[in-house]
């Protein structure tokens, strides 16, 4: 995997998505756990068994009868790739099955419970505390609300009628008391994806994800295996006041990886850095002298910020807002939210600054008169005040005498 990453850096030909996909197709490393799903290649087929390559030292074996159709014909051939579930290891032999707790009796369900093999079930209806699920052989099972998804859903009706894989977490009274979990399946898949991500994901990569939660401080995004935060400052190049106006739950997004802390399980993403930086083309879109109408987005004591485009705000200095008159605050001339026609005076793309003026009012407000220095001098004790130089000389002489 490290070599693959090095090749990607050298050539730039392989994307993160391609590496991520490869990680699932090259066999299984590490110890197999009962119920673990694998993608296996068919090596050979005999009268009773199908031998599989699952990336382990020993070959996997699968009962040939599982791969026969209703007419008794074999549905696969050597070289095919199929999905199987690990059952057990004995004497170097790895036993697998393709059946999700297959069969029509309780014996098969009990075997699936003991071995951890998932079972297929149909969500029949919502009942107190969870769902009623129909398993093989018309066996009824109970799935608590908390065990249907990775997080509690506000719309439980969405699962009704769906056929899903479940893990049997409780099997009692010979099948009359069965509790199942779909969440356990999702968590296992999430753990496998996380292991793959840890080997492939690096800061700076751009990856696809889905928005899962919206908060005043940012958005949480699931990239398949881990969930990270997009701080509100990283949502867009421009200023975002309400994140709900920009993103929605379930939205597909492309994010750049900002930081990865696997031990603390904290991950940070950026939505804006996965997009083109608008400041790179600001001089082309808004050349100096351009007149444009924008929205006043913020007022500061020194001026008004006007949004020119996505991520580009310009500043009209307070000295150029009063129409030649001195004002103490920009609110005396404009207000937030109003449209304002401005002219681009100067652009500093490197500093990310655009200076704006009002068309026809490029000149600053009239210069303020120089401050009268006499207000800081002590009052005269009679006669004329004399020249400014004389007054200053007297002050200096007093200081020397002290």
State which fold the 281-357 domain adopts. OB fold (Dihydrolipoamide Acetyltransferase, E2P) (2.40.50)
Q: What is the pLDDT of residue 397?
A: 63
∠ CA 213-150-83, nearest 5°, is: 125
Domain with CATH 2.40.50.140 in the chain: 32-98, 106-186, 203-274, 281-357
Q: Which CATH superfamily is domain 203-274 in?
A: Nucleic acid-binding proteins (2.40.50.140)
Quick one: what percent of the chain has pLDDT higher than 90?
27
Residue 1: which of 205, 12, 21, 13 has the closest Cα?
21
- Residue 86 CA to residue 36 CA, distance in Å, equals 5
pLDDT tens digit string along 74-127? 888 999 998 888 877 776 788 888 866 545 567 778 878 887 888 888 999 999
∠ CA 168-98-149, nearest 5°, is: 40
pLDDT tens digit string along 261-290? 999 999 999 998 888 778 887 888 888 888
pLDDT tens digit string along 18-66? 544 444 444 455 677 777 778 899 999 999 899 999 887 778 899 888 8
E strand or H helix at 221: strand 218-222
Predicted TM-score of the model (pTM): 0.55
Across 262-266, 354-358, 362-366, least confident range? 362-366
Is residue 175 within 8 A of residue 135, CB to CB? The reply is no
- Crossing angle of helices 16-25 and 2-11, in 10° steps, is 150
Residue 241: which of 211, 220, 216 has the closest Cα?
216
CATH of 106-186, one of 3.40.50.300, 2.160.10.10, 2.60.120.10, 2.40.50.140: 2.40.50.140
- Residue 253 CA to residue 141 CA, distance in Å, equals 37
Sort strands 303-309 and 227-231 into parallel, antiparallel or unpaired: unpaired
Tokens 């066999």 correspond to: 27
- CATH architecture label of 32-98: Beta Barrel (2.40)
């Amino acid at each position: 995997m490290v070599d693959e990453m090095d090749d990607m850096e050298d050539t730039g030909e392989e994307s993160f998505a391609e590496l991520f996909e490869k990680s699932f197709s090259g066999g299984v490393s590490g110890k197999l756990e009962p119920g673990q799903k694998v993608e296996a290649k068919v090596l050979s087929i005999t009268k009773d068994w199908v031998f599989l390559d699952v990336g382990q030292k020993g070959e996997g074996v699968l009962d040939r009868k599982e791969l026969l159709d209703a007419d008794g014909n074999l549905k696969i051939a050597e070289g095919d790739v199929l999905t199987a579930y690990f059952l057990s290891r004995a004497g170097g032999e790895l036993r697998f099955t393709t059946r999700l707790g297959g069969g029509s009796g309780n014996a098969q369900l009990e075997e699936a419970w003991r071995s951890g093999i998932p079972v297929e079930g149909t969500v029949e209806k919502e009942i107190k505390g969870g769902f009623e699920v129909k398993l093989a052989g018309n066996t009824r099972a109970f799935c608590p609300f908390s065990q249907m998804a990775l997080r509690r859903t506000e719309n439980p009706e969405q699962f009704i009628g769906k056929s899903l894989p479940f893990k049997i977490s409780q099997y009692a009274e010979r099948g009359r008391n069965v509790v199942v979990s779909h969440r356990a399946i999702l968590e296992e898949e999430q753990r496998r994806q996380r292991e793959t991500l840890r080997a492939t994901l690096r800061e700076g990569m751009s990856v696809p994800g889905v928005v899962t939660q919206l908060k005043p401080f940012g958005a949480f995004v699931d990239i398949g295996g881990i969930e990270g935060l997009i701080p509100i400052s990283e949502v867009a190049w421009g200023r975002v006041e309400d994140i709900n106006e920009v993103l929605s739950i379930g939205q597909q997004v492309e994010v750049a990886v900002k930081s990865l802390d696997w031990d603390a399980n904290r991950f940070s993403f950026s939505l804006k850095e996965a997009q083109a930086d608008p400041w790179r083309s600001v001089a082309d879109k808004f050349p100096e002298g351009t007149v444009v109408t924008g929205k006043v987005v913020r007022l500061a004591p020194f001026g008004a910020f006007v949004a020119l485009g996505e991520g580009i705000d310009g500043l009209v200095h307070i000295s150029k807002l009063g129409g030649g008159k001195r004002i103490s605050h920009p609110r005396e001339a404009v207000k937030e939210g109003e449209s304002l026609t401005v002219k681009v005076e100067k652009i500093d793309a490197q500093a990310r600054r655009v200076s704006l003026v009002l068309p026809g009012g490029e000149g600053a407000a009239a210069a303020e008169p120089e401050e009268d220095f006499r207000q800081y001098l002590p009052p005269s004790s009679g006669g004329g005040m004399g020249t400014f130089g004389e007054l200053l000389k007297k002050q200096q002489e007093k200081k020397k005498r002290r």
